[in-house]
Amino acid sequence: MAEIIISDTSCLIAYQRIDRLDILQKLFHEVIITEQVLSEFGYAVPEWIKVKSAPPRSVIAFLKRSIWEKHSYTATITLL
């Protein structure tokens, strides 16, 4: 079992469509998403999925210049 996954919206949507979010819990010790991912997902998530705040805007701005904008919020959660 892997330790931690920092999920983006597409991963949650894929497992939600087949009603199997529980697979993530079986594969990973800890599942983390950002508040933005939760908002984009549009459904309530189980208690075992941890929702973290996004990092400061200055960090996000830097990463937007450095990596694909869509993943900047997810990538920055590792800095918390």
Residue numbers of the domain that contains 27: 2-79
Provide the domain count of the chain: 1
Mean pLDDT (the chain) is: 82
Cβ-based neighbours of 67, under 8 Å, separated by 6 or more: 75
pLDDT, tens digit (0-9, with 9 covering 90-100), for 25-46: 999 989 999 888 999 999 999 9
| Contacting residues for 5 by C-beta, under 8 A, at least 6 apart | 11, 24, 27, 28, 30, 31, 32
Would you say residue 57 has pLDDT above 70? yes
Q: Which residue has the higher pLDDT, 72 or 39?
A: 39
Tokens of 41: 């997902």
